[in-house]
Structure 1
């Protein structure tokens, strides 16, 4: 088994895993924080990187990205999602996060309005506001219930230029059904000047019986859809900063490419990230299937344990490897629980604060379960023991 505690090297993680994880926390604290795996990357990725470095040259890559990477992305989306992207309209970027910002920079003007789901990861709001657009919150159901996109349509006006979709939805783990996406597509099709920016970085992390549907393959809105994805969640490549922007046509691609500054070498996407992601897409699919099977088991374990804790209620996420339990029946706010768990239980979690996930996140905490069963069990037992002794 490649996902047990023997495959988690805490000594190495403690020197390399930043962003609220092992390298930034006191020794003995278990981080269930940033959505980043505790496991080494797949052997085919390690092999590809080693072979490239052994070649001895780390030269400039092409401004528009390595052809083999762009081809691998297009092939992967066609096989998994039945979407035929032209590889010439795929731009490598140094993370999905930057891809989101880049699309906002390329397509929005000051005063434009952007509809953003609430709760959702903060990057949509951050990126839109960085280019002086106005964000409009669409309050979404908290319990994986069906979404009412007719309500969303009431938020659209002449200033609306973008709708930001995160599917699966971080932090709740909601996976949108095809029927829900069709309804959204019908709304979008009535407004030809609106772009849907679809963040699909979690699209590989889907738990049966749920299925993922790429928005570009829904209805007749391909030309109004830009897909952003990355390879950190599925393959553990966060440190290589690699993602991609999949554009529907040459016109939009050119706008995004011009905004990227890649052509001037002021900015660019590192070659090693593209080499690693190409190997991941071409040669690490068996590893990925095993990883998702492990995550499914960890999800079920964690949800069961959380629901046994006093004052905690947790739904099964349909995708992603994060949980978003409701803690409103405990004696703590999200910030208080985060602080107490860190100090007294030696477990780090992410509080559901508006700055991270929007106003609807209050009363929740987020936990990542992309670790071994042994570490996850220990962390959840620590949380349980703390809550039992502090009712």
Structure 2
């Protein structure tokens, strides 16, 4: 949809989850300083990343989860969570192996699993209860081919924050079946009034050998173009994953790792600022959606920065609806079908864009459906 939108003059986009924020000044300035001072700034790093960076990641993980991990044995620096997940799926999947994905889920998870001849197994969320985890159905999805369950909380595309009780049950089910839980975490900095609800399953020591935790700098640090993240995983799994990582890209870009060092060596006041701005944008989009109940039905997201409204106006499917909206109203949204079977008849709207873009988009939607 982003590529189609680029071909429509004057189109406004709610499709791409790209934060409108600029990379914080202290990170930009810190990188400039290191580029000027570090004679090795333009060179490769070790495949698993700069030791200084991995040590900072270990300290961050300990502060956030209470779990001690080894910078050498458990941590690998990645070019964002997508590259990290690509490496992980490549490492653990033989042809026909299965990965359980919440449904709806992030489309790239589906695509990557298929690329490695794996099978994406859909675990439908309970839409009637604001997309909660349906724990009763999970055990029946696990087979001798199952390698892992992937969780994103807050979720993309629904914005759902899964509860501690739910996540502990997922962890126990995975533990009992000797499979992994892969936690893809781009959005935990954006939980708004629901901070107390957020729980990181990687904080449970019992499940440490069954958890792969990935964190991205793209959203919380407005560093999507820097391509930077990290993975924390059991030692045996890292020994295999690093072979794939080294063979495909050698290492994450050193300049981005220097930026990560600056980011983790400093306070992060920008996170509260970003969260406050996003909360206002969420309220604006909620207000605009409330005004058009004949087009969309919606539920308030608890975190991340997406709305996932259901299309209630007459339509064939979410893809034709989105393309029609782009061509005729010059508004870009993402078809819900991209996010799995349960996403059909929905669209994803990102409120990480500025308020003017949100207002222009909804003005056009209202106008289009008033004359249609």
**TM-score (ref. length: structure 1):** 0.87
Aligned to 1:10: none
Q: Specify the SS of the correspondent of 2:206.
A: coil
**What does 1:234-273 correspond to in 2, within 5 Å?**
234-247=220-233, 249-261=234-246, 267-273=250-256
**Post-superposition CA distance 1:307-337 (Å, at most 9, x none):** 2112211111111111111113344632233
**What does 1:42-191 correspond to in 2, within 5 Å?**
42-55=24-37, 57-88=41-72, 89-142=74-127, 143-191=129-177
Q: Report the CA distance between 1:28 and its aligned residue.
A: 2.4
Q: Report the CA distance between 1:124 and its aligned residue.
A: 2.0
Q: Report the CA distance between 1:151 and its aligned residue.
A: 0.9
Q: Report the CA distance between 1:91 and its aligned residue.
A: 0.5
Aligned to 1:7: none
Q: Report the CA distance between 1:64 and its aligned residue.
A: 2.0
Aligned to 1:221: 207
Q: Contact between 1:21 and 1:34, CA under 8 Å: does it hold in 2?
A: no
**Post-superposition CA distance 1:134-168 (Å, at most 9, x none):** 22111111252532212111111222221111222
Q: Specify the SS of the correspondent of 1:235.
A: coil
Q: Which runs of 5+ in 1 are unaligned?
A: 1-18
The change in CA–CA distance for 1:367 and 1:146 in structure 2 (over 3 A counts) is closer
Q: Report the CA distance between 1:27 and its aligned residue.
A: 4.4
Following the alignment from structure 2 to structure 1, what is the Cα–Cα distance between the partners of residues 175 and 205?
9
Q: Contact between 2:13 and 2:357, CA under 8 Å: does it hold in 1?
A: no
Aligned to 2:280: 297
Q: Contact between 1:116 and 1:163, CA under 8 Å: does it hold in 2?
A: yes
Q: Contact between 1:201 and 1:229, CA under 8 Å: does it hold in 2?
A: yes
The change in CA–CA distance for 1:245 and 1:172 in structure 2 (over 3 A counts) is same
Q: Give yes or no for the alignment of 1:357 onto 2:339.
A: yes
RMSD value over aligned CA atoms?
Answer: 2.2
The change in CA–CA distance for 1:384 and 1:71 in structure 2 (over 3 A counts) is farther
Q: Specify the SS of the correspondent of 1:220.
A: helix
Following the alignment from structure 1 to structure 2, what is the Cα–Cα distance between the partners of residues 223 and 76?
19
Q: Contact between 1:119 and 1:140, CA under 8 Å: does it hold in 2?
A: yes
Q: Report the CA distance between 1:284 and its aligned residue.
A: 5.4
Following the alignment from structure 2 to structure 1, what is the Cα–Cα distance between the partners of residues 7 and 68?
44
**Post-superposition CA distance 1:231-280 (Å, at most 9, x none):** 11222222121111111x32121111122126xx8532101111222323
Q: Contact between 2:66 and 2:203, CA under 8 Å: does it hold in 1?
A: yes
Following the alignment from structure 1 to structure 2, what is the Cα–Cα distance between the partners of residues 275 and 187?
39
Q: Specify the SS of the correspondent of 1:78.
A: helix
Number of residue-to-residue matches in the alignment: 366
Q: Contact between 1:114 and 1:128, CA under 8 Å: does it hold in 2?
A: yes
Aligned to 1:318: 302
Q: Give yes or no for the alignment of 1:206 onto 2:196.
A: no
Following the alignment from structure 2 to structure 1, what is the Cα–Cα distance between the partners of residues 267 and 235?
30
Aligned to 1:386: 368
Q: Which runs of 5+ in 2 are unaligned?
A: none
**TM-score (ref. length: structure 2):** 0.91
Aligned to 1:32: 14
Identify which of 258, 279, 303 aligns with 1:275: 258
Following the alignment from structure 2 to structure 1, what is the Cα–Cα distance between the partners of residues 19 and 131?
28
Q: Contact between 1:21 and 1:33, CA under 8 Å: does it hold in 2?
A: no
**Post-superposition CA distance 1:111-149 (Å, at most 9, x none):** 222211111012222222222222211111125253221
